[in-house]
Structure 1
Amino acid sequence: MKINEKNLCAYSVSPTHIDKEGYLLKKGEVNKNFQRRWFVLKGNLLFYFEKKGDREPIGVIILEGCTIELAECEDQFTFKLVFHGGGGRVYVLAADSQESLEVWMKALARASYDYLKLMVAELQKQLDELNDTESQGKGGGGEEGHPPKAPHRQRQNPFNRTQSSNEVTLDPTLAMRMRANTVSGGGVSQYLSSAIGAMPHRTAPPPPSVAHILVNRRTFAQIHSEYGVPILRDKELYLQRKAQQEGVGDAFKSQGQEKAASPVLVMNLVDI
C-alpha cells in the first residue's frame, strides 16, 4: 500500500472527522512496557501521538482485517487488536476504566469497512421486510396475493374529439357584448340561452390539401429575393438623397470660397 506521509500527517491533526480520541496505554514491541499515548480515531485509521497537541503522529493503525478482543492481563483494563493472516501483528492497549474500555472497543469494532458492509446488509434486510409487510397490509382488501386494480378507463385525446350537437362556438362579437354588458340575477341564463339559440352552427374550414401546399411552396432563395427588393430600393433612395445633400454642400462651399477671394481682386484693381 502506498501512503503519502505528508497528506496523512495533515489529515491526522485536522480537527474534522474525529470519531473518538483520548489517552490509552500502548504496550511496546521492544521493552514490553506500557506507554501512555494520545489516540485519535478517524474512520478506519487509528493515529497515536506521544502527547496531545503534537503536530505529527508516532504511527497509524489501519483497522482492516483485524478483531478486537480482551487481553489476558487481569490487573488492567486491557484489550488487543489482532491482525489475522501471515505475519499478523497484535497491538495491546489498556484503558483507564471499564467504561472507557467498553467505549473504545465498540468504537474500534465499528470502524472497519467490513462492519459497514454488514450494517448496510442488515438495514437493507429490515427495509425489505417493512416493504413486504406494508404491501401485504395494502393488498388485504383485494384478491389473495394480488393488489386491487383500478377500473379500466379509456383515454381520449381532447384535441381529437368531434364537436357534438350540444357544443356551440360563441361568435366573437357576441362575446365582446357579453363582456361589455353586465347582466345580473336570472337574466344571465336567459340572455345566454336566447343568444345561443339564435346563432347559426358554424363548422371549421377544411385543412389545405397537400397539393395546394406543394404548389404554393417557395424556396428560401425566392423568399430572400422577394423581401430583399424593398430593402434594396430603400437603400438606393438613401444613397441618392445623400449624394444630393453632398452636392448642395459642395456648391455652398465653392460660393464661400469665391466670396473670400473677391476682396483681393478689388484691391488689385484699385492698385492698378
Structure 2
Amino acid sequence: MMKINERTLIQYANTRQVPDMEGWLYKRGEVNKAFQKRWCTLRGNLLFYAEKKGDKEPLGVIILEGCTVELAEEETEHYAFKLVFHGDGRQGRMYILGASSQQELEKWMKLMACSSYDFMKLMVVDLQHKIKELEIQQSSNLEDVANPPVAPPRATRHNPFNSARKETKTWLDIHNQIGAQIMRDREEWLNKYSGAAFAQEQGASVGNHEVEMTGDKLLVVL
C-alpha cells in the first residue's frame, strides 16, 4: 500500500509549474449525490479539486492509476464522464465529473486517459521500439552508401538504340557506286566487241566488211 504525505501533496498542488490543465468541473459527491462545482487542477497523474480557484489547500486529490476514463452517457445534467477504478478484476470506486461544454469534456477525458504512470510506461516502450527501428534503418542506409553498386565494364555496355539504326548513304555515294558499275560494264563490252574479236564472232553475217569502233559507237563499213 502506498503512503501519501499530505504536506507534500499540498506543496505539489501549489507549485509554480504550469499544470497540464485546470478549470471548473462539476463533481458528484459520494454522500450527497448532487453535483458540486469544483476548481480542478491536473498535474501528471494527480487530479486536485478545491472549493474555489486560488485555495492553498485542495479538498481532495484523485490518483489516476488503475482506472479507466469513460463517457457517462446516463448523465444529462452536464457533459459528464466518469473515472472507474478496477481492483482484482472488480469495479471499485467511481467518480463522476461534468464539464460545461463538449469541447471541455473532450480535453479533460483525453488528458486524464493518458496521464497515468502505466500509460506513460507503455509510451516509453513504444518510443524505444521506434528509435531502434530508425537506428536499424539508418545503419542500413549507411551500408548502402559505403558499398554503392558497381557499374558494368565499358566493353559489356552498348547503346540499345544503335541496333535499330540503319546505314544511310548520300546521293553522291549512290551516284559514284552506280557510275563505277556502268564503267565496268562498258569496258567489258568494248573488250568483247572490238576489232577482230567482233569480226570473228560475226563473220558469217558480216563477211569481209570492215569493222570500226569510234568511241562508244560500232561501225560496219560495207
Do the structures match in fold with TM over 0.5?
yes
Report how far residue 134 of structure 1 moved: 1.3
SS in 2 for 1:15: coil
Q: 1:134 aligns with which of 126, 138, 163?
A: 138
Give me the whole-angstrom Cα distance separating, in 1, the residues matched to 2:146 and 2:9. 61
SS in 2 for 1:127: helix
TM-score (norm 1): 0.50
Aligned length: 144
> Are 1:95 and 2:96 counterparts?
no
> Are 1:83 and 2:85 counterparts?
yes
Report how far residue 94 of structure 1 moved: 0.6
Q: 1:31/1:136 Cα in 2 relative to 1: closer, same or farther (>3 Å)?
A: same
SS in 1 for 2:32: coil
SS in 1 for 2:92: coil
Gap runs ≥5 in structure 1:
144-272
**Aligned twin of 2:5:** 4
For residue 42 of structure 2, what is the amino acid of its counterpart?
L
Give me the whole-angstrom Cα distance separating, in 2, the residues matched to 1:50 and 1:142. 66
Is contact 1:83–1:90 with CA below 8 Å preserved after alignment? yes
Q: Higher mean Cα deviation, 1-10 or 103-112?
A: 1-10
Give me the whole-angstrom Cα distance separating, in 1, the residues matched to 2:5 and 2:18. 19
SS in 2 for 1:51: coil
Report how far residue 13 of structure 1 moved: 2.0
Give me the whole-angstrom Cα distance separating, in 1, the residues matched to 2:66 and 2:8. 24
For residue 126 of structure 1, what is the amino acid of its counterpart?
K
Report how far residue 121 of structure 1 moved: 1.1
For residue 82 of structure 2, what is the amino acid of its counterpart?
K
* Structure with greater strand percent: 2
Q: Residues 22-101 of structure 1: matches in 2 within 5 Å?
A: 22-73=23-74, 75=76, 76-85=78-87, 88-101=92-105
Is contact 1:28–1:34 with CA below 8 Å preserved after alignment? yes
Is contact 1:17–1:43 with CA below 8 Å preserved after alignment? no
Give me the whole-angstrom Cα distance separating, in 1, the residues matched to 2:145 and 2:58. 65
SS in 1 for 2:80: strand
SS in 1 for 2:33: coil
**Aligned twin of 1:266:** none
SS in 1 for 2:141: helix
Q: 1:142/1:42 Cα in 2 relative to 1: closer, same or farther (>3 Å)?
A: closer
For residue 116 of structure 1, what is the amino acid of its counterpart?
M
Give me the whole-angstrom Cα distance separating, in 2, the residues matched to 1:28 and 1:104. 19
Q: Higher mean Cα deviation, 18-27 or 74-83?
A: 74-83
> Are 1:110 and 2:114 counterparts?
yes
SS in 2 for 1:37: strand
Give me the whole-angstrom Cα distance separating, in 2, the residues matched to 1:117 and 1:7. 24
Is contact 1:69–1:80 with CA below 8 Å preserved after alignment? yes
Gap runs ≥5 in structure 2:
148-222
Q: 1:4/1:141 Cα in 2 relative to 1: closer, same or farther (>3 Å)?
A: closer
Q: Residues 134-213 of structure 1: matches in 2 within 5 Å?
A: 134-140=138-144
**CA RMSD of superposed structures (Å):** 1.9
Report how far residue 133 of structure 1 moved: 1.3
Report how far residue 40 of structure 1 moved: 0.6
Post-superposition CA distance 1:205-245 (Å, at most 9, x none): xxxxxxxxxxxxxxxxxxxxxxxxxxxxxxxxxxxxxxxxx
SS in 2 for 1:89: strand
TM-score (norm 2): 0.60
SS in 1 for 2:87: coil
